[in-house]
Amino acid sequence: MIFKAVSDGAPYPAHGLSMKEWSEIPPRPVRLDQLITTKRELALDRLLAEDSTFYGDLFPHVVQWNGGLYLEDGLHRALRAALQQRTSIHARVLALT
């Protein structure tokens, strides 16, 4: 199994962080098998695109809430890491209380 679970939508409250605020959170390693996705589907063209991170953050965004780590943004990066047989990725983790 690649991810801990696959969900459809975010169960946590809206946090309202801007891209600038996300960029201030230092990335840290996160195991793929601890992540719960917030998207059930992925566009294959985004996964295979060479410039998939050109316009966004280099690091996926993860929200820690109620004991879970929810992959909010960066599903294609996480899946690409799994296809390369890596077990973890560096992500920005926001802890919500």
Q: CATH code at 86?
A: 3.90.1530.10
Token pair recorded at residue 8: 């459809």
CA angle 14, 78, 9 (to 5 degrees): 30
Determine, yes or no, domain membership for 15: no
Consecutive 10-residue runs of the chain (97 residues): their mean pLDDT?
91 94 96 95 68 67 97 90 94 95
Q: What is the pTM of this model?
A: 0.87
Please state the domain count of the chain. Answer: 1
* pLDDT for the residue numbered 31: 98
Token pair recorded at residue 80: 């690409």
Determine, yes or no, domain membership for 14: no
Determine, yes or no, domain membership for 85: yes
Residue ranges making up the domain that contains 35? 5-9+20-95
Determine, yes or no, domain membership for 53: yes
* pLDDT for the residue numbered 80: 87
